[in-house]
Structure 1
Amino acid sequence: MDQIIECVPNFSEGTNQEIIQSITGAIGSVEGVKLLNVDPGRDANRTVVTFAGQPEAVIEAAFLAIKTAGELIDMSAQNGTHPRMGATDVCPLIPVSNITLDEVTVYANRLAQRVGEELQIPVYLYENSQPDKKRSNLAAIRAGEYEGFFKKIKLPNWKPDFGPAEMDAKRGATVIGARDFLIAYNINLNTASAHIANEIAQDVRETGKIIIEKNGKERIPGSLKYVKAIGWYIPEYGKAQVSMNLTNISATPIHEVFDEVCAKATEHGCEVTGSELIGMIPLKAMIDAGRYFLLKQGITYVTDEFKLIDAAIQAMGLNELAPFDPQKKIIEYQLDNK
């Protein structure tokens, strides 16, 4: 059976459709690659693209996308609510079928080396591709963002893994690596307060928050392992959101995350109104969520796949901001739709 990997690059452009279409056109030009999802965000000024295929084709498409983004996006004039450090901010490769994470790491490292050497863009390896665990976390690499990288890149411990140790003013720097499946997931609140959203984010994220006391600083861990979170306000929606990356959905599934944020929102005097999936989600995660929410209602007899998915959509309010189409948002359905 064919080896299949997924690539989910994040580009620092969420409004200019011509630029977005040029990037996705470069991806689609490679035979053997299927473009699965394009998810632009105006206020975040960021587009998450999902595509999949056989490894050689995927890394060729990723290279062309990074090249195109660097040509068309000017980071010196870019701004948005989402943290960023480059035109292609991050480019993860993810095992889907008949391939291990370590095998995907070989392809990710090949891509990173090619981007650094041929395009002369500073590249940092992350997650499974990064042997130095002090700099394998995306948040640690991206700290300081685009504006701070002109100095950061000169520090000996932040020399890029590939490419020049000089910040590219137009294209910025990028992060490439192999990782497990990640869900980008935003939960909507009935408040416009970014402060409240960030308080909830600190309560739930694994790294928690820092409390300053008389004897110094103390870090209080959050309630959810394998969850990264920030809070922000999205004018487009008129709502604050808890914006999260779920990095191990086997250990901390999406339905547990939703319930925990609901509980913390209540503690902070607000309510969850729904949620938003950025990019795609595995079928199992939706089925497990459907079973979970139905069981909370005392319903145990539903086994139909589509009814379980619908139960998950309704319980988590995934239709609140835009229609949630399982055929487009569930990765297995997209791959099966030749």
Structure 2
Amino acid sequence: MQLIECVPNFSEGRNLSSVESISRAIVGVKGVHLLDVDSNASANRTVMTFVGEAGAVCEAAFQAIAVAQSLIDMRSQRGAHPRIGATDVCPLVPLADASMQQCIELSHKLSARVASELEIPVYLYAKSAKRPERRKLAFLRKGQYEALKKRIEKENFAPDYGPNIFNARAGATAIGARDLLIAFNINLATTSREIAEKIARQIRRAREEDQVGALPECTALGWYIEEYKCAQVSMNIMDYRKTSLHGAFLEVKRLATELETSVTGSEVIGLLPLQPLLETGRYCLGSSKNKESADQLISEAIDFLNLGDTRPFDPQKKVLDYRLQNLPPLRNMTPSS
């Protein structure tokens, strides 16, 4: 079975009725399983994770983007998280027997339909990007939605799909194929957004300058989350084989100490693979062997990272491997072509 994961990020985290409507659009497509819905009011953002085979995933993504456009008006949208559209980004991730090339081809198919039928400008990013600078979301989000009207008129920022006409309500959407990533937020013992931003800048600078101890394949932002009454360093670990959970946690902890604050814990947005949790568990126990049980290693990792600092962390619900294990066969539920 060629299984594909889709993780659309919607610029709505406060109106839970709208979030529910988008969720229904996804689960209404036969052959798709919605695994996780993660909303945050301060970020004003919801991350949804669903899986299925190519045709079903493409259809569910399109239906979700269509509903998001009808319910989210970017002209009045505000939140801590950078964004360019109602559906800010829609990544496609190969799982099981699916290939990256298949996801790249699917991203083109989805982008063409979104641009044609919904009149939303689409930018291809990550592995699907046609231009090297568009691989990174930071480039596409420069100036955010508020700068999009002027940027889209420039020849060098024309969408990959759709006309270079500003869609005031929906903004634009980034669609692309990528590998698994971990959205990892680290909580600070301060309410200072300035301190969180300073830590994030130091992490980005160290990576860009290839300094000793830098965190490769890792992005970082700083912000304040009202629900938690604390500042956070929000990180995307693009390759957990190069930057571990504990490595990122320890580096933020070190930088926080230099700025006379501390780390209180962390959270994962969406789902994460099992392997990086196991690696952190082994780090905690000082073991490179496989004699410890998965449950023991996960427990060690959760305690070390304090993943329950602001909200409960249940591995059975937040670890992708476990969510997939509990799914019924997908092939029998996928519409025939």
Q: Which moved more, 1:3-12 or 1:302-311?
A: 302-311
Taking structure 2 as the reference length, the TM-score comes to 0.93
Q: Work out whether residues 202 and 208 of structure 1, in 8 Å CA contact, stay in contact via their aligned partners in 2.
A: no
- Return the match for 1:265 from 256, 271, 282: 256
Kindly indicate whether residue 63 of structure 2 is the aligned counterpart of residue 64 of structure 1.
yes
Check if 1:250 corresponds to 2:249: no
Offset of residue 205 of structure 1:
2.6
Unaligned runs of 5+ in 2: 328-337
Q: Partner letter of residue 311 of structure 2?
A: A
Shift of 1:335: 1.1
Does structure 1 retain, via aligned residues, the 8 Å contact 2:189–2:231? yes
Q: CA deviation at 1:7?
A: 0.5
- What secondary structure is seen at the aligned counterpart in 1 of 2:165? coil
Alignment partners' CA distance in 2, 1:130 and 1:257: 27
Structure-2 residue corresponding to 1:142: 141
Q: 1:319 aligns with which of 287, 308, 311?
A: 308
Identify which of 277, 282, 288 aligns with 2:273: 282
Aligned mates of 2:86, 2:290 — CA distance in 1: 49
Give how far 1:208 is off: 5.5
Q: Does the C-alpha gap of structure 1 residues 220 and 249 become closer, same or farther in structure 2, counting only changes over 3 Å?
A: closer
Question: 1: distance between equivalents of 2:221 and 2:275?
Answer: 26
CA distance in structure 1 between the aligned counterparts of 2:207 and 2:77, rounded to whole angstroms: 29
Change (3 A) 1:180 1:133: same
Partner of 2:231: 240
Residue pair 2:207, 2:216 contacting (<8 A) in 1 also: no
Q: CA deviation at 1:302?
A: 5.2
Match of 1:174 in 2: 173
Matching residue of 2:83: 84
TM-score, normalisation: structure 1? 0.93
Mapping 1:1-338, distance limit 5 Å: 2-205=1-204, 223-295=214-286, 303-338=292-327
CA separation in 2, counterparts of 1:205 and 1:314?
A: 27
| One-letter code aligned to 2:279 | D
- Identity fraction in percent: 48
Letter in 2 for 1:281: L
Distance 1:144 1:262 in 2: 29
Is the 8 Å Cα contact of residues 15 and 45 (structure 1) preserved in structure 2?
yes
Say whether the 8 Å CA contact 1:233–1:241 is kept in structure 2: yes
Q: Which runs of 5+ in 1 are unaligned?
A: 210-218
Q: 1:79 & 1:301 partners in 2: Cα distance? A: 47
**Aligned-residue offset at 1:151:** 0.3
- In the alignment of these two chains, the number of paired residues is 326
Residue 131 (structure 1) shift: 2.2
CA RMSD of aligned residues (A): 1.6
SS in 2 for 1:308: helix
- SS of alignment partner, residue 223 of structure 1: coil
